């Protein structure tokens, strides 16, 4: 929790910890919307305020406008995060907010707190209604759940996916057991690729192990590739905890693979992650058209390199957690045009999620994160 001195201290009480996490999450998500009203009520531009005072204002505003906390409680807890003249200033601005309420006539991307150019993109791609439904989805608290080959459970789409109760704080290890915490959509991608079969497979973009957990029991050998080496710390923790015994971590750049003649390769590519903003509250603020262009280029390089390392008769899969056509359908079409020896296979997933053989999830309509996947077999 932020103290008057500006230090970050984690409270001992789990309920306080839960509140601290919730505040950070909600302030991160709603920053654009909160700042619009705070800017209107602050006599000084927000950018010129001391960071502590700005934090106090945002915490107060999010408690009042989003979390439904009574105004007097919101003002008093928020102001305790600042001191001296900053405290009086925050107090005055928040009291005005309590009296006059949120300003009216916010633009839709401000009201839904997403970057303006992303809103424009999504309206063009999905239509206004679907775009706004997607942004509202991004702002919701995601359900908690995970996949396990041992614990049973029945997901919305696949067996083996188990929903956990969200208690508001990070679950204890005993509650997680042998589960790998992930969205059901990620499990659908992992299980689909695991069903493609073969004696060995490689996965590109392996860490932190969300796909390895699905591939490991399905293949005799999984070569789990990622870079840099530090990324394997979490992969290793998960591999030990979940008893993954068929997977071999290899530090390598997916654009220069130390492989040839592989029976199967999964490219789980870095992407703009626009399909999983709900689970990564800060990710939307990293959005840019430039980043999209960078990701698309990297995906193309990874796919081309992996294709060259797949044996004849083997399979190749491509997956991202993005909703952008440049990283999804357009990537697939480009790949197929430049690789006539690869034939598209219907992605093995529940049919309601598959169109033209491609797994394509639109979160507000399918109720799970926005993953995308394709797979091919190499014929020549």
Catalytic (active-site) positions: 321
Q: How far is CA 108 from its chain centroid?
A: 22
When the beta carbons of 32 and 222 are compared against other proteins, the nearer one is 222
H helix runs in the chain, sequence order: 14-41, 51-65, 71-79, 85-100, 108-111, 116-126, 128-138, 173-176, 184-194, 212-215, 232-242, 289-309, 329-338, 363-366
**Rounded to an integer, what distance in angstroms lies between the CA atom of residue 200 and that of residue 216?**
10
What's the angle, vertex CA 12, arms to CA 279 and CA 167, rounded to 5? 40
The least distance separating other proteins from the CB of residue 284, rounded to whole angstroms, comes to: 40
The least distance separating other proteins from the CB of residue 182, rounded to whole angstroms, comes to: 24
**Rounded to an integer, what distance in angstroms lies between the CA atom of residue 189 and that of residue 319?**
8
**Rounded to an integer, what distance in angstroms lies between the CA atom of residue 112 and that of residue 108?**
6
Give me the DSSP letters along 124-146. Answer: HHH-HHHHHHHHHHHTSPPPEEE
When the beta carbons of 171 and 217 are compared against other proteins, the nearer one is 217
**Rounded to an integer, what distance in angstroms lies between the CA atom of residue 354 and that of residue 374?**
10
The least distance separating other proteins from the CB of residue 240, rounded to whole angstroms, comes to: 15
Report yes or no: 236 and 249 within 8 Å, Cβ to Cβ: yes
Phi, psi (deg, nearest 5) at residue 340: -65, -15
Closest CA to 303 of 258, 336, 349, 351: 336
Report yes or no: 220 and 163 within 8 Å, Cβ to Cβ: no
Please name the residues in contact with 25: beta carbons below 8 A apart, sequence gap of 6 or more. 141, 281
The least distance separating other proteins from the CB of residue 313, rounded to whole angstroms, comes to: 7
DSSP 147: E
When the beta carbons of 260 and 352 are compared against other proteins, the nearer one is 260
When the beta carbons of 95 and 246 are compared against other proteins, the nearer one is 246
**Rounded to an integer, what distance in angstroms lies between the CA atom of residue 358 and that of residue 363?**
16
**Rounded to an integer, what distance in angstroms lies between the CA atom of residue 77 and that of residue 3?**
11
When the beta carbons of 221 and 345 are compared against other proteins, the nearer one is 221
Burial class (CB within 10 angstroms; exposed 0-12, middle 13-18, buried 19+) of 245: exposed
When the beta carbons of 65 and 223 are compared against other proteins, the nearer one is 223
Q: How far is CA 98 from its chain centroid?
A: 34
When the beta carbons of 128 and 312 are compared against other proteins, the nearer one is 312
Interface with other proteins by CB under 8 A: which residues? 197-200, 219-223, 245-248, 260-263, 311, 313-314
The least distance separating other proteins from the CB of residue 199, rounded to whole angstroms, comes to: 5
């Amino acid at each position: 929790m932020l103290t008057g001195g500006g230090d970050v201290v984690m409270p001992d009480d789990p309920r306080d910890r839960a509140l601290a996490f919730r505040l950070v999450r909600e302030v991160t998500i709603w920053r654009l919307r909160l700042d619009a009203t705070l800017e209107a009520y602050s006599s000084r531009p927000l950018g010129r305020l001391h960071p502590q005072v700005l934090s106090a204002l945002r915490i107060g505003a999010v408690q009042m406008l989003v979390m439904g906390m009574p105004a007097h409680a919101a003002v008093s807890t928020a102001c305790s995060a600042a001191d001296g003249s900053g405290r009086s200033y925050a107090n005055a601005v928040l009291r005005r907010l309590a009296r006059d309420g949120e300003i009216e006539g916010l633009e839709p991307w401000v009201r839904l707190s997403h970057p303006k150019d992303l809103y424009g993109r999504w309206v063009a791609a999905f239509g206004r209604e679907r775009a706004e439904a997607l942004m509202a989805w991004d702002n919701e608290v995601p359900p908690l759940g995970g996949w396990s080959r041992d614990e049973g459970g029945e997901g919305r789409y696949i067996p083996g996916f188990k929903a956990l109760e969200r208690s508001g704080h990070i679950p204890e290890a005993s509650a997680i057991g042998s589960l790998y915490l992930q969205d059901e959509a990620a499990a659908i991608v992992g299980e689909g690729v695991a069903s493609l079969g073969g004696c060995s497979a490689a996965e590109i973009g392996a860490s932190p192990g969300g796909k390895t957990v699905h591939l490991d029991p399905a293949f005799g050998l999984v070569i789990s590739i990622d870079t840099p080496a530090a990324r394997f710390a979490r992969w290793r923790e998960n591999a030990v905890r979940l008893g993954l015994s068929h997977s071999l971590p290899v530090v390598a750049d997916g654009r220069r693979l130390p492989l040839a003649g592989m029976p199967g390769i999964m490219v789980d590519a870095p992407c703009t992650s626009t399909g999983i903003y709900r689970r990564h509250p800060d990710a939307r603020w990293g959005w840019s058209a430039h980043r999209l262009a960078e990701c698309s280029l990297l995906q193309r390089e990874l796919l081309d390199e992996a294709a060259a390392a797949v044996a004849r008769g083997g399979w190749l899969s491509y997956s991202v957690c993005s909703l952008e056509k440049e990283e999804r359908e357009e990537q697939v079409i480009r790949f197929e045009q430049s690789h006539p020896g690869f034939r598209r296979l219907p992605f093995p997933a529940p049919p309601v999620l598959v169109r033209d053989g491609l797994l394509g999830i639109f979160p507000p309509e399918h109720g799970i994160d926005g993953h995308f996947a394709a797979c091919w077999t190499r014929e020549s």
